[in-house]
Amino acid sequence: MIAEEQEPVGKNMEKLVFEGVRDFDPDQIFDCGQCFRWEKQPDGSYIGPALGVVARVSYESGGRLVIEKLAGSRPLLEEEWRHYFDLDRDYGEIKKLLSSKDDILAEAIKYGQGIRILNQDKWETLISFIISQNNNIPRIKKCIEKLCERFGECIGEISCEKSGSSSQESVARDPVCRWMMPRPQVLAALSPEDLEDVRLGYRARYIIETARAVSADGGETLKRTEAMTSSEAYQYLTGLCGVGPKVANCIMLFSMGKCDSFPIDVWVRRVMSELYGFSESDVRGMRSFAAEHFGEYGGIAQQYLFYYIRERK
């Protein structure tokens, strides 16, 4: 796989091109529940905040992945984006391995053949999945955007219209800011009342308490989690307020590269009961089955199953 970095064209324009990228479907990657801030554009590309910039991601079936910087002061670094999209992992091999485990998973993999697990920002993922608990995806997205808009720093301004808005006139609009997830120290200084208009409900307290715990050491421990073993990271995360087994596993899978993490939520319980014959309440059994049967790529298997059951409900 060859990556080529193009020189800036005009002011503040940068582009990263990866050729020969396989097992990559933007719709599946951005809409399989692992991230909440990438927005689909009318042309099929996605715009979102990541790695300190606002970027546009587009993919052609030939295997050409293009990342354009739309705003932000950070440069596009090939190594960072390669890691973000997990491009060094051979999903073809993993799919072959997992498909041989059982026919149910093989079917789910056929359905979500272009899924990849992102390596997202740990702090943003932590907060996002605290918000996700006992909540639905559209509202999770709204809460995150409101939280960022109200308390986050502006990454940069873009003039591109948001998807969904049916604008007949294609007049250039006023620049719109995209906002970062507010830093731990910022959220740590808030009180629940400050967060009222974000509509987080009872989760507001969890976020503030977790922000205080994380910022207590300047985020050093959270930063170190990637180098920890899965169980060390799990211990640290579940020690934070609002982080239980499910949320911890999501954070580990979607931001720390712990591919064996197997988050069990209502949808996975549904899969495991409807397709694998478990009792809905037997979370214990599901966990150990996943560890033994799916093995080191259990988390990736979980994503195929999650996407599969959710898309055909």
Q: How far apart are CA 254 and CA 258, in angstroms?
A: 8
Residue 57 tokens, joined: 């991601």
- Greatest CA span in the chain, whole angstroms? 59
User: What are the angstrom distances between the C-alpha of 203 and each of 8, 74, 198, 238, 254?
Assistant: 42, 32, 11, 15, 21
Q: How far is CA 51 from CA 84, 155, 268, in A?
A: 8, 10, 30
Q: What's the number of CA atoms in the CB half-sphere (13 Å) around residue 40? A: 10
230 Cβ partners below 8 Å, 6+ apart?
252, 258, 260, 261
Q: Which is nearer to DNA, 44 or 244 (CB)?
A: 244
Please state the closest distance from residue 201 (CB atom) to DNA, in A.
3
Assign 234 to helix, strand or coil: helix
Return the number of the residue (15 or 278) whose C-beta is nearest DNA: 278
Contact by Cβ (8 Å): 20, 63: yes
At residue 157, φ and ψ (nearest 5 deg) are -100, 140
**Can you list the alpha helix ranges (DSSP code H) found in 239-297?**
245-255, 266-274, 283-289
Binding site for DNA (CB under 7 A): 32-34, 132-140, 196, 199-202, 206, 238, 240-248, 250, 263-268, 284, 302-303, 306, 310
* Beta bridge pairs of residue 215: none
The smaller minimum CB distance to DNA, of residues 6 and 281, is found at: 281
What distances in angstroms separate CA 148 from CA 2, 127, 177, 181, 198, one per listed residue? Answer: 35, 11, 11, 5, 9
Q: Which is nearer to DNA, 2 or 266 (CB)?
A: 266
Catalytic residue, chosen from 69, 95, 122, 246, is 246
Closer to DNA by Cβ: residue 18 or 302? 302
Spatial separation of the C-alpha atoms in residues 76 and 283, rounded to whole Å: 42
- How far apart are CB 270 and DNA at their closest, in Å? 8
Nearer to DNA, 140 or 228 (CB): 140
Q: How far is the CB of 124 from DNA (least distance, A)?
A: 14
Supply the minimum distance, in Å, between the C-beta of residue 76 and DNA. Answer: 26
Instruction: Answer yes or no: 141 catalytic.
Output: no
Q: Shortest approach of DNA to residue 260 CB, angstroms?
A: 14
C-alpha span between 201 and 88 (Å, rounded): 40
Which tokens belong to 223? 């930063």
Provide the minimum distance between the beta carbon of 139 and DNA in the complex, in angstroms, as a whole number.
Answer: 6
Catalytic residues: 246
